[in-house]
């Protein structure tokens, strides 16, 4: 496959009405790369942090470096952070420690957190309950059940909704999206993964975001323009653009 230039990806997104892009870090190196893109492109912002897969890398020295990088211009969130018990690329203990310490860090810098949770719902909720009181939290690519969704709504947490909602077998997520307030929804890619239908199998890009808005519009029986406006306003509020 031909590698696409960042400028092409961004131009295609703009043509589809996707104005702002947050490029998310999984470790120091990717966070640094994102800061470079944010410095080059006016509509690109960053989130920085150690992904659960990379939690084992987060020693004291790297933690200090992450803390310094959080003040980089256009860094607007800490993430993605959280727990992934599906792959276990880092041990559960390493993941929980990195998750807790990064939540504390986000609180000190008054940053929203972008949370990754795969097959770790119970511990994710436990740690959020213990550490993230009154913080801005988005569960990215939300994969919990209805009771977890309710739990999140009660706490004012946001739901990152991506390509999965367009998949035929994602019935429970579709029902959850139907029921949760539109005011709690943010649209996301999880690029390069989870490309919405009918482009499954291709690398995901911000230009596909309108397909997710369209699916949500169907589920909520609203116009796509309303979904676009409200989720954009949600993102502005959540990230403080
Ligand atoms: Zn993730």
Q: Predicted confidence band at 3 (pLDDT cuts at 50, 70, 90)?
A: confident
How many angstroms is it from 193 CA to the middle of ligand 1?
Answer: 10
Separation CA 164–CA 188 (nearest Å) = 10
How many angstroms is it from 140 CA to the middle of ligand 1?
Answer: 6
Q: What is the pLDDT, as a whole number, of residue 131?
A: 98
How many angstroms is it from 120 CA to the middle of ligand 1?
Answer: 12
Is the predicted pLDDT of residue 88 greater than 90, yes or no? Answer: yes
How many angstroms is it from 88 CA to the middle of ligand 1?
Answer: 13
Q: Predicted confidence band at 97 (pLDDT cuts at 50, 70, 90)?
A: very high
Domains of the chain are 1-111 (3.20.20.140), 136-241 (3.20.20.140)
Q: Write the CB contacts of 33 (distance below 8 Å, at least 6 apart in sequence).
A: none
How many angstroms is it from 190 CA to the middle of ligand 1?
Answer: 7
Q: What is the mean pLDDT of residues 100-119?
A: 98
Q: What is the pLDDT, as a whole number, of residue 1?
A: 56
CA angle, corner 88, sides to 167 and 184, nearest 5?
45
pLDDT tens for residues 188-230? 999 999 999 999 999 999 999 999 999 999 999 999 999 999 9
């Amino acid at each position: 496959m031909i590698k696409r230039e960042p400028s092409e990806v961004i131009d295609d997104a703009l043509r589809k009405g996707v104005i702002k892009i947050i490029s998310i870090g999984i470790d120091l190196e990717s966070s640094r790369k994102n800061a470079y893109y944010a410095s080059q492109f006016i509509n690109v912002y960053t989130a920085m942090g150690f992904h659960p897969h990379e939690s084992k890398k987060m020693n004291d020295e790297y933690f200090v470096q992450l803390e310094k990088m959080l003040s980089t211009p256009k860094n607007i969130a800490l993430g993605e952070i959280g727990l992934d018990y599906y792959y276990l690329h880092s041990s559960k203990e390493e993941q929980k420690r990195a998750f807790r310490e990064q939540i504390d860090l986000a609180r000190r810098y008054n940053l929203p957190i972008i949370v990754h949770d795969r097959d770790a719902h119970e511990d994710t909720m436990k740690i959020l309950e213990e550490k993230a009181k009154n913080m801005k939290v988005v569960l990215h690519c939300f994969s919990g059940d209805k009771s977890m969704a309710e739990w999140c709504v009660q706490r004012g947490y946001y739901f990152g909704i991506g390509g999965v909602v367009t998949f035929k077998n994602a019935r429970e997520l579709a029902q959850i999206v139907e029921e949760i307030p539109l005011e709690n929804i943010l649209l996301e890619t999880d690029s390069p993964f989870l490309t919405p239908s009918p482009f499954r199998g291709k690398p995901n890009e911000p230009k596909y975001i309108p397909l997710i808005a369209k699916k949500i519009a169907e589920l909520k029986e609203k116009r796509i323009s309303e979904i676009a406006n409200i989720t954009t306003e949600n993102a502005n509020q959540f990230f403080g653009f």
